Structure 1
Amino acid sequence: MFNWEDILLTVQITSFFIAIINNSILINLIINHSPKDIGAYKYLMLLISIFEVIYAVLDLTVQPIFHSFGATFTLIVNTTNSGLDKRVWEILAVVYCGFYGSSMAIFSIHYAYRYWVLIGKERNLSWFKGRKVLFWLIIPFSIGLIWAVVGYFPCYPRASTNDYLRESVLMKLGLNIDRIVYFAPYFYEKNEFGQNVIYWPSFVGIMLDSLSINLSLLVVGYYGVKCWNKMSRLLSTTSIDHQNIQNQLFYSLVAQTVIPIFLMHIPALTMFMFSFLEMDAGHLSGFVSMSIAMFPALDPIPTILIISNYRDAIKRFVLIRYQKLGKTKLCRCLIFKKKSIHPSVSSSNVL
């Protein structure tokens, strides 16, 4: 009988291996089978896949447990049986927070690029040529840094947070609060008179995090709508092949964006809202840990399936492997034995 922690670990390990396989396949397809006129967008696509590989490694290493209780939503790293110093785990957890926060910013760059391609804005597109493409890494890095700083300072464990979470963490997760690493925005705490007071650093920190994510989503929505409006008008004057590849790139990007929104940001936002309202989400917070782990495993799939060049390359690979398998001695032997077992089938058909 699996307990909750076993199920979570199974999901995290399975998602890690699927993420490595799917992103490795996609990286190979992007490098070797991308459309000829894809341009610098190939490097932006590689950026997403590399990002998701690193994210999957971080998720399996940290194995975050998200726990909602009252006025807190906590990221927990179980270091009970670890031989590493707790400081190391704190750094890894902070880096994990940074990667989580920067995920949507990477997609916002893609949407801006796709729109500039559609309208032929060469001045902006020139910033994606050669080493200049590294300039755009500043945007997700900056947002990731905000998340890392907020995770470490306003959400760092305090005596009041320890006392508030101790019983809940022990009862629901079986963990000793003094032997784990955790970060929690504790929004309300009691003063010396027993009254609830707002802990403003947590509020300000979470507001900064929310603002950075919302800004990325705003850019995604703004350029996404503009792309949608421009595609039908501008692409009607181009060749059918060019229209098809632009449509495929756009729709695969939309699908890739929807996955982290529903698996990462909406669940986390919901848990933060529970914390603001001092509501205990209970076991629902456990699903957040699982859905976030699944993000890098599922996100490459739309691109592999939607872009025809990649889809055809997969079909050719499978067909070649199938044909080679059919020529092996073992396969020929099995076919021969099957015919030997049913020799009368052909003669009965003749009669």
Structure 2
Amino acid sequence: MAYIICFELFYIILEFLTVPDLLTLDYAFFIIVDPEKSLLPENWSQVADLIYCGAFAVSLVIFGCQFAYRYHVLKGNSSWTASTPRNFIFWLGTQAVLASFYSYFVHAFMQRNDYSKKIMKNVGYTDYRIESVGFIGLIFYPKLDNGTQIINWQSFIGVSVTTATLFASEFTMIYFAYKCFQATKSFINQSGCSSKFRRLQWQLFYALVAQAIIPILFMQIPMTMIYTSTIVLRRSIPAIGHLQSMTISIYLAIDALPTILIIKPYRDTVIRSLFFWKKRKVAPYQTNSSNSKQQHASWTNF
């Protein structure tokens, strides 16, 4: 889970630096990095926008990779989990390749054009600001000057890639979550492990499940709402884009909470830190034999 924490810290810093605007209006959806709002130089805006989109893609698949890794750990597949450069490159490189692939298609099929410029002018952007901002956009049914509405196939090709990533991440996560459940159950039943060890394994599994549900609720469902309102209904409103901006921030803020609250050693540490003023009882000195009995009883009752 350490690399998930590192990624989320990176995502938080990126969000703080870019301050992206998610604009939804009728049949259009834009992700804008405005130099007037962000902390980055103007010539970095477009690159930062692409990196932001790539980070969004990684946030969708990272838990599928985590479930897959945990499954191989439980099955004892050391060839996939051993601390080797090959495995390190594979588990981290897979997500980096996906982010690059995602960002490339976003750059290729979601660039600014005459249709996007027209909509941005309607919401108050000047010609100079349109050219200076970092821009990623989808316009599914633009209107020509004579009022005729057409289909923008470039946007549909771009959204097909993002949608495929969405469904692939959900399938991978659900598939390996179920495999992890089976492997955890089989591993605990077959091994002569202590009750403490059994509880810890289930706590790790439930924490990972809870941690994976958070991006589904706060990222995938709002993104599905955006696609539904812009593609199907063609009646999206700015509030939906603002909702997605807010839920991404909430996801980054609370995603670590399941691990802290469900896994007992972490939970106990937090509780002790919060109630640090409580004095700990000091046990009287005991002989070695009584000490060993007491330790055995404490491990049994954990």
TM-score range, shorter chain: 0.7 to 0.9
Q: Percent identity?
A: 28
Residues 55, 99 of structure 1: 8 Å contact kept: yes
Aligned to 2:226: 271
Q: 2:136 is matched with which residue?
A: 183
Letter of the 1:61 partner, please give it. L
1:1-351 to 2 correspondences below 5 Å: 45-80=1-36, 85-126=41-82, 129-131=83-85, 132-167=87-122, 169-170=123-124, 175-176=125-126, 178-180=128-130, 181=133, 182-191=135-144, 194-238=147-191, 239=193, 240-277=195-232, 278-319=234-275, 321-322=276-277
* Alignment RMSD: 2.2
Query: How much does 1:81 deviate?
Result: 6.2
On the 8 A contact 2:111/2:136 being kept in 1, the answer is: yes
Contact 1:62–1:77 at 8 Å: present in 2 too?
yes
Which segments of 5 or more consecutive residues in structure 1 lack a partner in the other structure? 1-44, 325-351
The question of whether the paired residues in 2 share the 8 Å contact of 1:191 and 1:197 is answered with yes
In structure 2, how many angstroms separate the alpha carbons of the residues matched to 1:83 and 1:52?
19
Of residues 81-90 and 270-279 in structure 1, the stretch that sits farther from structure 2 once superposed is 81-90
What SS is found at the alignment partner of 1:98?
A: helix
Q: 1:100 and 1:273 mapped to 2: Cα distance?
A: 19
Q: Check the 8 A contact 1:76/1:183 in 2, yes or no.
A: yes
CA–CA separation in structure 2 for the residues paired with 1:187 and 1:119:
46
- CA deviation digits over 1:48-86, x for unaligned, max 9? 001000100111111112111111111122334679653
CA distance in 2, matches of 1:83, 1:101: 23
The TM-score with structure 1 as length reference comes to: 0.71
Cα distance in 2, alignment partners of residues 200 and 106 from structure 1: 30
Shift of 1:125: 2.6
Q: In structure 2, what is the equivalent of residue 12 of structure 1?
A: none
Shift in CA distance, 197/91, structure 1 to aligned 2, threshold 3 Å: same
Say which SS state the counterpart of residue 196 (structure 1) adopts: coil
Pairwise CA distance, 1:323:
5.1
AA aligned to 1:297 is A
1:135 to partner: Cα distance: 2.1
Q: What is the TM-score normalised by the length of structure 2?
A: 0.82
Pick closer, same or farther for the CA change 1:177–1:251 going to 2, 3 Å. Answer: farther
How far did residue 289 of structure 1 move?
A: 0.9
For residues 273 and 2 of structure 2, what CA distance do their matches in structure 1 show? 21
Normalized per residue, which structure has more helix? 1
**Counterpart amino acid of residue 14 in structure 2:** L
The alignment partner of 1:185 has SS state of strand
* Structure 2: distance between partners of 1:191 and 1:122: 59
Partners of 1:195 and 1:184 in 2: how far apart? 21
1:198/1:248 CA distance change after superposition, 3 Å? same
Number of matched residues?
272
Unaligned regions of 5+ residues in structure 2, if any? 280-302
| Distance in 1 separating the partners of 2:112 and 2:99 | 21
